[in-house]
Chain A
Amino acid sequence: MKQMMTLEVNGEAHELAVEKDATLLKVLREQMGLNGPKRGCDSGGCGCCTVQIDGKAVYSCLCYALSYDGARITTAEGLSSGAELHPLQSAFVEAGAVQCGYCTCGMMMAAKQLLDDCPHPDEEQIRQGISGNLCRCTGYAKIVDAVKLAAGR
């Protein structure tokens, strides 16, 4: 049986009926149609499901949705304001930090947490900041470049 809950997702309030064992990832993707967070390993090992809950990066695949009734969620879709890209998004485009694209949304959400906490990270801090995110194309050098670029903006 489903249970009612509310979420503020990318600035919009939603009332949802969710399965009791549904993860936040599942609710975002399957009920709300947000495909930024990806279902990769589904067990907290790859980072492509990363979103922010109340401003903190988490693996949405590890979160039961019902634990977060009333929470404020930001997904990669919530980074841009209208047609204007977030500095991280434009930096990822300019640095060529997107290959297959599967990790990209999670990488940007991890990088957002890093830049929120530490606006001018050095390379080591950037690499630490994205250590919970796997790029299956192994394109880390350009991802690090993109985060550096975004930090300068």
Chain B
Amino acid sequence: MALHKLKDFHTPGNMEDVLALLGKDAETLVLSGGTFLRGLETRGLLGDVEALVDIRKAGLHTVTTDVAGLEVGATVTFAHLQTIDEVKNTPWLAGLADALAYPPAQIRNIATIGGCVAASCPFFDIPTALMALDASVRTRGPNGVRQLPLPEFFAGMFANALEPGELVTGVAIPRAPGNTAGAFLKLEGNANDLAIVNAAVRITIDAGRTCTDVRVALGGGVAESALRVPSAEKILLGSKLDAATLQAAGDAVINDIDPMSDHRASAEYRRAVSRVMTRRALERAMARLN
């Protein structure tokens, strides 16, 4: 398969040029790491694309950390993000670090945060991890800049809220205060496959070890996109996070998911393992709390 209609391959050096190219009347696709896009091409799904705009020289490759949290540029690779001290060393970001460690080096060196969000693929890992961190997507387009929480950004399988001429410029991760720890787990058929189910959690406790804040997110074909699981969060919030509560929270996730059946797993299997993966992710995060 190939890009039969491809006429132009652009590598613009700044955002103004990127936006001008995306504003042209052509079937134009943004290219970042390319790991997802090439997969679409080999399946014959990009036959109409006339122009590719590689945005990796457009200045979206930095990570900044401050009191508000992390700002991750769209073209930051998984491998780059893994080198950030706070990602490596702090419990509140441990779920993100877990998710970044799953793919092989050949993917980590090239796949980007922006690309993996923009792909809006329900089977990806990083979106699930970001959802448990309350991350939002920064975009820029002909009508200016926007910031969309991930649940608002995703609009179904391989669909998102981007408008024509608009692109993802980065991801904002707000800092979680207090005694907070996260975790991510992936169930996969082999070491280089998409998830059957993945689970990400973030737990905050007070001095009395009562849960004062919690996020539970699931992905990997449990719905048309990664999603928050409020049924589980409600059970955990205000609890002492004892074993029975974690089990109950795991069991409750089936209220909020609508898994699909495909060649990786049946919906029934995904439903069953979602419960287990959630409980295990909660246990993993709890072990990281101070």
Q: With a CB–CB cut-off of 8 A, which chain B residues contact A35? A: none
Known: A21-B3, A67-B56, A114-B105. A131 touches B9 (CB 8 A): no
A67 with B11: CB separation less than 8 A: yes
Q: Using CB atoms, name the residue of chain B closest to A61.
A: B38
Interface size for chain A: under 10, 10 to 19, 20 to 34, or 35 or more residues? 20 to 34
Q: With a CB–CB cut-off of 8 A, which chain B residues contact A69? A: 11
B9 with A64: CB separation less than 8 A: yes
A 38-49 to B, binary, CB cutoff 8 A, 1 in contact else 0: 000011111100
B2, B6, B105: the one within 8 Å of A129 (CB): B105
Q: Using CB atoms, name the residue of chain B closest to A52.
A: B109
B 180-202 to A, binary, CB cutoff 8 A, 1 in contact else 0: 00000000000111000000000
Chain A 110-153 residues near chain B, CB threshold 8 A: 110, 113-114, 129, 131-134
B39 with A44: CB separation less than 8 A: yes
Distance of A126 Cα from B11 Cα, bound (Å): 36
A23, A57, A110: the one within 8 Å of B38 (CB): A23
B 84-118 to A, binary, CB cutoff 8 A, 1 in contact else 0: 00000000000000000001111101100000000
Distance of A11 Cα from B9 Cα, bound (Å): 26
Chain B 35-79 residues near chain A, CB threshold 8 A: 35, 38-39, 41-42, 52, 54, 56, 79
Known: A23-B38, A44-B38, A132-B192. A63 touches B110 (CB 8 A): yes
Q: Using CB atoms, name the residue of chain A closest to B191.
A: A131
B9 with A3: CB separation less than 8 A: yes
Interface size for chain B: under 10, 10 to 19, 20 to 34, or 35 or more residues? 20 to 34
A20, A42, A64, A110: the one within 8 Å of B104 (CB): A110
Q: Total number of A-B contacts with CB less than 8 angstroms?
A: 88
Tell me the smallest distance from the CB of A92 to a CB of chain B, in Å.
Answer: 19
A1, A50, A63, A131: the one within 8 Å of B34 (CB): A63
A67 with B42: CB separation less than 8 A: no
B3, B34, B106, B107: the one within 8 Å of A67 (CB): B34
B9 with A66: CB separation less than 8 A: yes
Tell me the smallest distance from the CB of A23 to a CB of chain B, in Å.
Answer: 7
**B163 contacts chain A at the CB level, 8 A cutoff:** no
Q: With a CB–CB cut-off of 8 A, which chain A residues contact B110? A: 56, 58-59, 62-63
B11 with A132: CB separation less than 8 A: no
Q: With a CB–CB cut-off of 8 A, which chain B residues contact A63? A: 34, 38, 110
B31 with A132: CB separation less than 8 A: no
Known: A21-B6, A132-B191. A44 touches B35 (CB 8 A): yes
Chain A 6-55 residues near chain B, CB threshold 8 A: 20-21, 23, 42-47, 50, 53
Q: With a CB–CB cut-off of 8 A, which chain A residues contact B38? A: 23, 43-44, 61-64
Tell me the smallest distance from the CB of B8 to a CB of chain A, in Å.
Answer: 7
B107 with A59: CB separation less than 8 A: yes
Q: With a CB–CB cut-off of 8 A, which chain B residues contact A134? A: 192
Tell me the smallest distance from the CB of A58 to a CB of chain B, in Å.
Answer: 5
Tell me the smallest distance from the CB of B101 to a CB of chain A, in Å.
Answer: 9
A131 with B104: CB separation less than 8 A: yes
Tell me the smallest distance from the CB of A10 to a CB of chain B, in Å.
Answer: 19
B107 with A132: CB separation less than 8 A: yes
Tell me the smallest distance from the CB of B57 to a CB of chain A, in Å.
Answer: 9
B residues touching A (Cβ–Cβ < 8 Å)? 2-3, 6-9, 11, 31, 33-35, 38-39, 41-42, 52, 54, 56, 79, 103-107, 109-110, 191-193
Given contacts A43-B42, A47-B106, A64-B34, 8 further A-B contacts (CB under 8 A): A44-B39, A45-B192, A59-B106, A64-B9, A64-B54, A131-B192, A132-B192, A134-B192
Q: List 27 A-B contacts (CB under 8 A).
A: A20-B7, A20-B8, A21-B2, A21-B6, A42-B42, A44-B107, A45-B192, A47-B106, A53-B109, A57-B105, A57-B106, A58-B110, A59-B107, A61-B38, A63-B110, A64-B52, A66-B9, A66-B54, A67-B54, A69-B11, A113-B109, A114-B105, A131-B104, A131-B192, A132-B104, A132-B191, A134-B192
